[in-house]
Amino acid sequence: MKLALFDLDNTLLPIDSDYAWGEFSQHIAWTDPVSFKARNDQFYADYQSGVLDIHEYVRFATDAVRLKGAEQAEIAHRQFMREIILPAVKPSAIELVKQHQAAGDHVMIVTATNEFVTRPIATAFGVSDLIAVELARDEQGWITGEILGTPSFKEGKVTRIAQWLAARNLNWSDVHITFYSDSINDLPLLEMAQTPVATNPDARLRQLATDRGWRTLQLFS
């Protein structure tokens, strides 16, 4: 089986959907424009430097959604898709996904952003298989702010892909993986892929890709 795996933020999208959702929550007055922005910026800096506490961040990032409830969250996310995400989707990214689908590859998005933010985005790319940070839910079925299972972040992406393979009675040796990512945070999965592709890479990943002879793809100008 040939797997084409895509990171999402700054890989298929030229923006970070997690950070953008935080900014959007300020725009619709769900969060405080000063204190929330300061913490959101700090978490994003932590992610970029590779020191993010994913559990603490998810609690922070989903707090407003949790408090607003499912109905308001769905309405807000539709607005977020219309105003922020869909205008950012580039033809070059859509075409890359379609090329892999046309070749018969099994296409998946593997992201460290939570499922609430990313499920509709994956659908917009025509990708049904999404591995994202899964959110724990209460007895009423609404999110609690905690993470369910292993977060798909750093080495957690390798764990989640291993779980996906095991559920289909497959091993790593049964698949050829092409993995597109922009971030040094994704090094564990890039190293597991037969074809790692540093896509719109950050400075550290660009240097590493050069050193190791990995393909580099600048998907966006």
Taking only the tens place, the pLDDT of each residue in 134-147 is: 999 999 999 999 99
Q: 57 Cβ partners below 8 Å, 6+ apart?
A: 43, 46, 47
Q: What percent of the chain is modeled with pLDDT above 70? A: 100
Q: Describe the strand order of the beta sheet including 215-217 as a list of residue ranges.
A: 129-133, 106-114, 2-6, 176-181, 195-199, 215-217
Contact 200, 180 (CB under 8 A): no
Q: Number of helices and strands (H, E) in the chain? A: 10, 8
Contacts of residue 217, defined as CB under 8 A and 6 or more positions apart, other chains included, come to: 180, 197, 198, 199, 200
CB of 5 closer than 8 Å to CB of 196: no
pTM: 0.95
Q: How far apart are CA 1 and CA 114, in angstroms?
A: 27
What is the model's pLDDT at position 48? 86
Whether 196 shows a pLDDT value over 80: the answer reads yes
Dihedral (Cα; 189, 193, 197, 198), 10-degree rounding: 30
Helix (H) or strand (E) holding 211: helix 203-212
Amino acid code (one letter) for 195: T
Q: What is the pLDDT of residue 67?
A: 97
Q: Mean of the pLDDT values across residues 89-95?
A: 97
Task: Report pLDDT for 50.
Answer: 86
Nearest Cα neighbor of 50 from 214, 200, 192, 202 is 202
Which pLDDT band holds residue 221 (cuts at 50, 70, 90)?
A: confident
- % pLDDT > 90, the chain: 97
Residue-wise pLDDT for 44-53, tens only, equals 999 988 899 9
Catalytic machinery residues: 7, 9
Decide if 72 contacts 4 (C-beta within 8 A).
no
Backbone angles phi, psi at 2, to 5 degrees: -100, 120
- What per-residue confidence (pLDDT) applies to 72? 98
Say how far apart CA 118 and CA 87 lie, in whole Å: 15
DSSP state of 148: P
Q: Which residues pair with 216 in a beta bridge?
A: 198
Lowest mean pLDDT among 5-19, 41-55, 189-203, 204-218: 41-55
To the nearest whole number, what is the mean pLDDT of the chain? Answer: 97
